[in-house]
Amino acid sequence: MAGETRRWCLAPSSGDPEPTRGDNVIEPDVLESTINTALATGGEFAEVFAEDRRSSSGYFDDGKVEELTSGRDRGAGIRVVVGDTTGFAHTADLSQAGLAKAAEAAAAAARGGSGGVEAVGLTSQKVDRTISVEIEPESIAKQTKVDLLGTADSAARDVSNSITQVMVRYSDSRRRIQVANSDGLLSGDDQVRTFFAVSCVASGDTGMQTGRESVGHTYGFELFDRYDVEELARTAAGRAVTKLEAVPAPSGTMPVVIGKGGGGVLFHEACGHGLEADLIAKGASVFANRVGEKVAADGVTLIDDGTMGGEWGNFAIDDEGRPAQSNTLIEDGVLVDYMWDHLRARKEGRPSSGNGRRQSYAHLPMVRMTNTYMANGNEDPADIIADTPEGVYIAQLGGGQVNTATGDFVFGMTEAYLIEDGKITTPLREGNLIGNGPEVLTQIDRLGNDFEMGHPGTCGKDGQGVPVGDGTPTLRVTALTIGGTAA
Amino acid sequence: MIETLNEVVEKVVAQAKPGEALEAVAVHSADTEIRVYEGEIEQFSAAESQGVGVRVIVDNRQGFAYSGTLDPEAISEALAEARDNATFGSPDEYLGLAEPDGVEAVELDLFKPGLADVPTEDKIAMAIELERATRAADDRISGIESAEYADSIVASAVATSTGLRNSSQETGCFLTSYAMAAEGDETQTGFGFSVGRDFDELDGAQAAEDAAMRATRLLGAVKPETERLTVVLDPFVTAQFLSILAGSFSGEAVLKGYSLFADRQGETVAHPTITLVDDPTRPEAFSATSTDGEGLATRRNVLINAGVVDGFVHNSYTGRRTGTASTGSAVRGFANTPGVGCMAVSLDPGSRTQAELISDIDHGVLIQGVSGLHSGVNPVSGDFSTGADGLMIRNGEVAEPVREFTIASTLQKMLTDVIEIGGDVEHLPMSATGLSLAIGEVTVSGT
């Protein structure tokens, strides 16, 4: 192939239906010439990712509508791969000239050698699964959105006189993406997300405490047919009020029972990140070279599933054009596979697992989780608590963080209680827990039958945030270190 | 670029209707990022981003919209959306744009034009050398998670219908190395970095050495016992602690009643050696800036003076509502309305080195790194709990490494439990300046 110029061209129209709903972000003939430009100096792989994202959000704070914001982000990211080098450029200028400039920059960055000629036909991918929403948020009057905020504020304040501050956030986004690459792929997706959160501050003799509740789904405005904002507000307020009675969390290592739904972030941190193929390839994960080995207790099954209907980390295609799929990572304690993006999969000669994601067109894709959850066990959750003479019960986890190379991870407890004599008792002030991923996986000794998904999350990696979901049944870990101040 | 941005914001503001206050903020950034792996370029990104944010206040109602492009059509759309959004805002008499307040912006030399002319080959060579030097620094270095060179050239402009016009440009470049060290089955990690405004300010050798040192000195780390003792925060950790603490001095937190210090102006809240200042006009601060997000000049604001709460920082809204005035502390990007916050916080330093601080401690822990600050610290209640790693301090010297433990206290208590402030000032790529800080009575939770 040396000395020849690689060509990329658009497949003749096959009469296939357009894979995207709505208009193209970039017209196919412009995509074609952009990829041509990207390959002109000898790229082995070139890709154009175009995005047009509209968002609206409302923020209610301090008893009033503080902010109503509309945003529009539109642009394209172009990457060119030569050998092990990826060149990347992005632009908000979607004219043919603007795209060509970015394509040249990406190609120059990849510093391609001689390259080869190969005529590549572009094939429209039929996306088997599209995610349709019932009510486009864009079709809803702003006043209707604003009214939700005030309703939640009132409901939260009605819970108790000790509620001194309420913050309510509504947001929706519609993200139309298009991916075309030199393997001939042309695909698109139209991703709608709607989110609502209430945070409360309660004040009492012991100072201030906070409580929060949030919902987010790949639904449109029908989110509010499924959730009652007043109920969400009361839950958030109740959490803050309960914590006014909270005592400092204990310190030291003890059994921890994590409630349904709330515990997904534990696995996201304890092993999810460590199963991302980019970290595996660099030896920066404690789970490298362990496929087929027993890495977790019996009965532990961990799945990452981008196809879970309506969940926050859901999509039809990932940000490399690959259809979302359900991937079993750990099955009955045995490590089955890692998560893959295009680049890592290509190197290993295997298919991507649909985990190539990016925050926006201005970012390179990498291996990311979608909806990560632990499958149900078969125990009654009440028995798990009753059989724990002493420990901590965590109803809601906050965020977490992991060092994949050592496996050490932390996560916050935002709603937690002491367990005394097999009963949930006193609420605890906030704090972090710390554990080691490979150790914790083997220390899960009880698994409930009450699986539930948790709250919508944003997972950060290398400075990029993407929406993710997680979930668990009630479960017990025999020993975790609680970062409180009480003896 | 600065001329283009000035034109863009001028053009938006010129469209202000009678009775309408209009503000436009435009930002352009050009970024380069080079990541190397095993002596080759792994990723090379060259990117330009830009955008305009438009804020409208009419009849005491505020609306905002932004456009992630300088495309005139998209900017017009943003202006129309902002006007429309304003009709849904709650009326609030304190809403308004910043007004000229006579404070002159300090001239800061934050823009080094030479950075744009550095040949790409030199940047690549520097990243490759960083990776090589990190590997070579110690036999136990088993791999490099990432070695990276990055730079950015940022220009921004603000214009308001109240007559403010401000624009600025700044450059920055960074080297970061994340090293892995291994011994037997055990792996530990460490980072090192170097920052500058111009290419020749970067010190790759130091970054490599720091990364290797931080990773190797944790090898053999064990989980410590649970006990209450003195901790010494490394400068990098102190800076993170100060950034969180500074949030409690935001005028917004004060107004909304969730600042720990809201009703405590004039009261002693900290050890008498503590003087905490927010001063974005210090050119050596990485986050230095001469103007704020609303176009006012930045200035020196004292938060805690010798242990006593001195003041808070305000943007024009929180300033008006509290009956004071903006302290030039509006923070924002083009995609947000102005928030309020500290930009360049520092503690008045002590005089001794970290080793000297440690020499007075019989039993304690040197905290090298913390994790989970976002999940374990609640700035409203003050509860502080983070994951940590570091080195035990025994009889005035650092001893065995420790990991997988937490440190916990409350922000309020940590301020009064300060034992000594180090003199080892480090300017870090963060909004706070680092130095070593010894704090007593912190709970270490381990076995």
Least confident stretch, A64-73, A477-486, B104-113, B347-356: A64-73
Q: Report the alpha-carbon distance of residue B423 to residue A125 in Å, rounded.
A: 62
Distances (CA, A) of B169 to B12, B29, B144, B198: 21, 10, 34, 13
Q: Is B375 found in the same domain as B300? A: yes
pLDDT tens-digit series, residues B380-423: 888 899 999 999 999 999 999 999 999 999 999 999 999 999 99
B143, B189, B443 member nearest A403 (Cβ)? B189
pLDDT tens track for A131-177: 678 899 989 998 999 999 999 999 999 999 999 999 999 999 999 99
Residues of B whose CB is below 8 A from A163: none
Residue B252 and residue B382 in one domain: yes
CB A286 within 8 A of CB A442: no
- Work out the pLDDT band at A119, boundaries 50, 70, 90: very low
Q: Is the pLDDT of residue A411 over 90?
A: no
Does B88 lie in the same domain as B153? yes
Please report residues of B whose CB lies closer than 8 A to that of A84.
Answer: 37, 40, 42
How far is the alpha carbon of B211 from chain A, nearest alpha carbon, in Å?
14
B407/A70 CB distance under 8 A: no
Residues B192 and B250 in one domain: no
The DSSP symbol for A267 reads H
Of B216, B241, B262, the residue at which a domain comes to its end is B216
Q: Would you state the pLDDT for residue B147?
A: 95
Residue A126 pLDDT greater than 80, yes or no: no
Q: Stretch B345-368: mean pLDDT, rounded?
A: 97
Please tell me whether residues B226 and B265 are part of one structural domain: yes
Question: If residue B7 lies in a helix (H) or strand (E), which one and from where to where?
Answer: helix B2-13
* Residue where one domain finishes, among candidates B173, B199, B216: B216
A281 touching B, CB under 8 A?
no
Chain A contact for B78 (CB, 8 A cutoff): yes
Most A-contacting residue of B34, B336, B337, B445 (CB-CB within 10 A), to test interface: B445
Report the distance separating Cα B390 and Cα B446, nearest Å.
Answer: 13
**For testing contact with chain A, the best of B406, B411, B441 (most A CBs within 10 A):** B406
Shared-domain flag, residues B241 and B114:
no
Across the interface, whether the CB atoms of A481 and B376 are under 8 A apart is answered no
Spell out the domains of chain A, with CATH numbers in brackets.
Answer: 7-243 (3.30.2290.10), 251-483 (no CATH)
B54 and B165 part of one domain: yes
* Chosen domain end from B189, B216, B243: B216
The pLDDT mean for chain A works out to: 87
B160: nearest Cα among B325, B296, B323, B328: B296
Partners of A436 in the β-ladder: A408
* pLDDT value, residue A120: 43
- Shortest Cα distance from A355 to chain B (angstroms)? 19
ipTM of the complex: 0.82
Residue B74 has pLDDT above 60, yes or no: yes
Q: What is the nearest CA distance from A22 to chain B, expressed in angstroms?
A: 19
Residue from B37, B43, B340 whose CB has the most chain A CBs within 10 Å, to mutate:
B43
- Put simply, the answer to whether B446 touches A398 (Cβ < 8 Å) is no
Residue B276, token pair as written in the block: 């905490």
* Chain A (335-394) residues lying within 8 Å, Cβ to Cβ, of chain B: 362, 364
Rounded Cα–Cα distance for residues A274 and B50 (Å): 35
Residue of B nearest to A365 (CA): B43
Task: Name the 3-class secondary structure at A301.
Answer: coil
Asked if A45 contacts A181 with a C-beta cutoff of 8 angstroms, the reply is yes
Question: For residues B291 and B101, what is the distance between their CA atoms, to the nearest angstrom?
Answer: 13
User: What is the per-residue pLDDT across A347-395, written as a single tens digit (0 to 9) for each?
Assistant: 899 999 999 999 999 999 999 999 999 999 999 999 999 999 999 999 9
d(CA B332, CA B234): 29
Per-residue confidence (pLDDT) for residue A82, from 0 to 100: 87
Check A408 against B381: CB less than 8 A apart: no
Q: Which domain holds residue B114?
A: 2-216
Shortest distance between the Cα of A88 and any Cα of chain B, in A, equals 4
A399–chain B Cβ distance below 8 A for any pair: yes
Q: Scan for tokens 């572009």, then name that residue.
A: A122
B21-64: per-residue pLDDT in tens? 999 999 999 889 999 998 988 888 888 888 999 999 999 999 99
Domain count, chain B: 2
Q: Under an 8 A CB cutoff, do A405 and B404 touch?
A: no
Judgement on whether residues B383 and B238 belong to the same structural domain of the protein: yes
Is A435's Cβ below 8 Å from some Cβ in B? yes
Residue A435: list chain B partners with CB under 8 A.
404
Q: How many helices (H) and strands (E) does chain A have?
A: 10, 24
Residue B245 is predicted with a pLDDT of: 94
A84 contact B CB<8A? yes
Report whether pLDDT(A421) > 90. Answer: yes
Q: Do A252 and B226 touch (CB under 8 A)?
A: yes
| Whether residue B22 is found in the same domain as residue B88 | yes
| Stretch 277-316 of chain B: residues touching chain A, C-beta under 8 Å | none
Whether the predicted pLDDT of A124 surpasses 90: no
Same domain, B235 and B197: no
The DSSP-derived string for A90-157 is EES--SHHHHHHHHHHHHHHHT--S----EEEEEEPP-S-----SS-GGGS-HHHHHHHHHHHHHHHH
Same-domain check for residues B122 and B53: yes
Contact B406 A483 (CB under 8 A): yes
Greatest extent of chain A over all pairs of C-alpha atoms, in Å: 78
CB contact under 8 A, A410 and B386: yes
Do the chains contact at A483 and B389, CB–CB below 8 Å?
Answer: no
Q: Please, are residues A196 and A216 in contact by the beta-carbon 8 Å criterion? A: yes
Examine the domain organization and report whether B293 and B206 are in the same domain. Answer: no
The CATH code of the domain that includes B157 is: 3.30.2290.10
β-strand partners of A461: A464
Contact B42 A84 (CB under 8 A): yes
The model's confidence at residue B185, banded by pLDDT at 50, 70 and 90, is confident
The predicted-structure confidence for B229-240, as pLDDT tens digits, reads as follows: 999 999 999 999
Tell me, rounded to whole angstroms, the distance of Cα A280 from its chain centroid: 19
Tens digit of each residue's pLDDT (9 = 90 or more) over A223-279: 999 999 999 999 999 999 999 999 999 999 999 999 998 778 888 888 899 999 999
Q: In chain A, which residue's Cα lies nearest the Cα of B121? A: A109
Structure tokens at A156: 């939260």
Q: Which residues of B touch A409 (CB under 8 A)?
A: 371, 387
Residue type, B234: D
